[in-house]
Amino acid sequence: EALRSGFVDYISFNEGEHTWLEMANAFDAGEEFESIKGLGYLKDGKLVHTGNREFIDLSTLPDLDWNLVNPKNYFQKSYGYDRMLGTYMSKGCTGRCAYCYNPGFHRSTRRCRPLEQVIREMKYLKENFGADGFDFTDDLMFANRKEVVDFCNAIIDAKLDICWSGYLGFGILNDPNDFELMHKAGCRSMIYGVESASQKVLKSVNKVVHLDKVKSNVENCLKAGI
């Protein structure tokens, strides 16, 4: 539909970072785009797809260049904090929920940015623009307990003194002490996808959630102040 609108010459499928860079380089060199993977365009009225790309190794991407925008224009108020910014730590999710875009887009694969890069970015935004919190937009912020503990300890060690929120799966954490560590590190909100209180319904949409974990996880969050 986008291509047939007459306003679009090319579309990119899935991740576009490397695709767009190659397009820019080809444009500067006066070369055609048809050999660049990840593109779609119309030829004689039919869609041509140049092929899929491999997933990007997020550790190879540079730090986000926040000087290209004014971060203060994107501040949001939430959880008692006035200057929260959106950012991300990972791409994708290991789930295969039938209603989600993830199995088709990310092929149920999850990849993380280097933790030190994320901490460096938060510190930069706090010191240079006054950000006091971060809303992580990851589909799944943490895949296991170690990631949670490492992230929280890194924030505490860096003395960031910020708040943060994100999306978490049930059962990844079960120890009340882990939720207390999250609160100590600045977590003030955690979003869970319960979807249904029926285990039968959850199974029918391929969502791996055990309802007995739901209540205990929510209770542990509340007790910790999240």
pLDDT at 118: 97
Model confidence pLDDT, tens digit, residues 74-128: 999 987 789 999 999 999 998 899 999 989 888 899 999 999 999 999 999 999 9
Per residue in 147-185, pLDDT (tens digit) is 999 999 999 999 999 999 999 988 889 899 999 999 999
Inter-helix orientation angle 115-129/145-157, to 10° = 40
> In terms of pLDDT, which residue wins out, 76 or 212?
76
pLDDT in tens, 17-75: 999 999 999 999 999 998 999 999 999 989 999 998 899 999 999 998 988 999 999 99
Q: What is the pLDDT of residue 210?
A: 83
Distance in angstroms (rounded) separating the CA atoms of residues 28 and 210: 54
The secondary structure element, H or E, covering residue 25 is helix 17-29
What stretch of H or E contains 48? strand 46-49
Q: Report the C-alpha gap between 164 and 162 in whole angstroms.
A: 7
Query: What is the pLDDT at residue 170?
Result: 86
Return the pLDDT at 160: 94
Instruction: Say what the pLDDT of residue 25 is.
Output: 97
Listed in sequence order, the residues at least 6 apart from 113 whose beta carbon sits closer than 8 Å to its beta carbon are: 58, 59, 61, 88, 89, 90
State pTM to two decimals: 0.88
What pLDDT is stored for residue 15 in this prediction?
Answer: 87
